[in-house]
C-alpha cells in the first residue's frame, strides 16, 4: 500500500503515534512485512502480506491516517522473486 498525505505534514505528524500503534498491531498479527515514510515525507509504503487487494483495503481502512482523512492509499500487488525478500515466508496462518 502506497500512501499519499492529504493534509499538511504537521497535521499528519499529530496523528503519527496512533498510526505507528496501528502499524505495530499489523506487525504483531503478521500482516505487515515492513513499512516506512517516503522521503521527502509526502506519504509512505506499507508492505502487507495478504492474499487479496480487498483484504489489504479492509486492513488499511482502520489506519488512523485514513479514518481522519489525512492520507489515501493505492494498492499495488507485488511478489518478491529476488533480493532480501525473495525467500519470504508468511509468519501467520492464512
pTM: 0.91
pLDDT in tens, 6-56: 999 999 999 999 999 999 999 999 999 999 999 999 999 999 999 999 999
Which residue carries 500482516 as its cell?
31
Q: Which of 73, 62, 52 is nearest to 23 (CA)?
A: 62
The pLDDT value recorded for residue 94 is 60
pLDDT in tens, 12-22: 999 999 999 99
SS3 at position 47: strand
Q: What are phi and psi of 68, to 5 degrees?
A: -100, 5
pLDDT class for 70, splitting at 50, 70, 90?
very high
Cis, bond preceding 83 (omega within 30 deg of 0) = no
CA gap 48, 27 in Å, rounded: 9
Q: For residue 14, what is its C-alpha cell?
A: 499529530
Amino acid at each position: 500500500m502506497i500512501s499519499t498525505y492529504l493534509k499538511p505534514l504537521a497535521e499528519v505528524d499529530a496523528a503519527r503515534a496512533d498510526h505507528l500503534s496501528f502499524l505495530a498491531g499489523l506487525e504483531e498479527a503478521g500482516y505487515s512485512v515492513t513499512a516506512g515514510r517516503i522521503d521527502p515525507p509526502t506519504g509512505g509504503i506499507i508492505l502487507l502480506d495478504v492474499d487479496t487487494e480487498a483484504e489489504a483495503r479492509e486492513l488499511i481502512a482502520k489506519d488512523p491516517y485514513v479514518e481522519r482523512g489525512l492520507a489515501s492509499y493505492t494498492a499495488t500487488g507485488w511478489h518478491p522473486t529476488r533480493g532480501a525478500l525473495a525467500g519470504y515466508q508468511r509468519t501467520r496462518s492464512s
